[in-house]
Amino acid sequence: MTSGLHDQDLPRGLPGMISNSSAVAAAVAVAAEHGVRAREPVVLNDSFNLRIHLRPAPIVARVPTVTALGRPRPADVLRRELEVVSYLCGLGAPVVPPSDLLPAGPHLRDGVVVSFWTHVEHDPDYAVTPEQAGRALAGLHQALHGFPGRLPYLWPVLEEPLRLLDLLDGQVEADVLERLREAHAGLAERVEGGAVQAVHGDAHPGNLLATSSGLLWNDFEETMAAPAGWDLACLLRTTRLDGQAAVRAYGADPGDPGVRAFLAARGLQGTLWMLVRALRFPSEADTARAALEAWLRDPSGATR
């Protein structure tokens, strides 16, 4: 069996893909309509989403780019994120808040969806310890337990991969694509059931920002109704720290059989997103191929 992206087939752009210039222009225009002048907008991060600091204002605009490929209604995703984070802010939970200098959104301008967040000074080189990550996640789950809103059940696990698999048709070997589809179908059956609550959805330590006020959770785009084991699988899969130690600090057993299905689902989800990301960033094809090869060797999600 061969695998990997066909290098010659990798497009330099995708139909409907939002350019950085269009995203920045839309964010600046919406901000201006609400009295905020961004004289020096700066792209902070361009990966799955585009994050733009609307300098000199302490505002970060977030625009779905790669993520919009797998989400036909990105505005709905941003709306759920804002609802959950606003709830957490009301509790005084340690999260990066939406901006209070203008309506946080989501806004739609010239086909671009954008939300606005408070710019928080943080140390990107700070190494979160396993103990900090585990305790932070336990506190977050306690706060999220009372969220009164409706959230879709395991949507990034059950629904989103189907769209990603369709995008990869013709971009990966046919036999590999079939194996990915079969794995998703099997996991969809395994992850059903169990106690459900609102969870972060992407609870790895890269979404914990080290600030002068302590560690703040960020990026709730994948928030959903799910067993807490999903977020524990996110910790176990990270390469930023000892995931098993972090899960123990959370107060759970990293060897719990109930987490295994989520670990495998997280491994598949991450692999699919890496492959789709390479459609926008052809320079990432080798990294995406390596992720795919790792998954093919061990689809359990236990290794990376």
The CATH number that applies at residue 222 is: 3.90.1200.10
Residue 195: the pLDDT is 85
Amino acid letter, 304: R
Amino acid letter, 146: G
Phi, psi of 145 (to 5 degrees): -55, -30
- In 81-233, where do the E strands start and end? 107-109, 112-118, 197-199, 208-211, 214-217, 224-226
- CA 147, distance to chain mean position in Å, is 20
Q: Which tens digit of pLDDT belongs to each residue from 261-289? A: 899 999 999 999 999 999 989 999 999 99
**Nearest by Cα to 205 from 254, 134, 141, 109:** 134
Do 258 and 229 form a contact (C-beta atoms < 8 A)? yes
Say if 2 falls within a structural domain.
no
Amino acid letter, 289: R
Say if 303 falls within a structural domain.
no
Say if 55 falls within a structural domain.
yes
Say if 71 falls within a structural domain.
yes
Q: Which tens digit of pLDDT belongs to each residue from 86-145? A: 999 999 999 999 999 999 999 999 989 999 999 999 998 899 999 999 999 999 999 999
How many angstroms separate the Cα of 51 from the Cα of each of 24, 42, 63? 9, 9, 7
Q: Give CA–CA dist 272/276, Å, rounded.
A: 6
Say if 207 falls within a structural domain.
yes
Domain that holds residue 156: 7-297
Residue 236: the pLDDT is 94
Number of domains the chain is built from: 1
Output the six-digit token pair for 269: 């989800």
Residue 191: the pLDDT is 84
Residue with token string 């979404």: 207
Residue with token string 């706060």: 143
Q: Kindly give the interhelix angle for 285-297 and 257-280, rounded to the nearest 10 degrees.
A: 150
Contacts 24+ apart (CB under 8 A), 162-167: 163/69, 163/70, 163/71, 163/72, 164/69, 164/70, 164/272, 164/273, 164/275, 164/276, 165/272, 167/69, 167/70, 167/276, 167/279
Residue 69: the pLDDT is 85
Residues in the chain where the model's pLDDT stays below 70 = 1-16
Helix (H) / strand (E) containing 43: strand 40-46
Say if 47 falls within a structural domain.
yes
Say if 302 falls within a structural domain.
no
Say if 134 falls within a structural domain.
yes
Residue 16: the pLDDT is 60
**Nearest by Cα to 66 from 286, 289, 219, 277:** 277
Q: Kindly give the interhelix angle for 229-237 and 130-144, rounded to the nearest 10 degrees.
A: 160
Q: Give CA–CA dist 32/34, Å, rounded.
A: 5
pTM over 0.85: yes
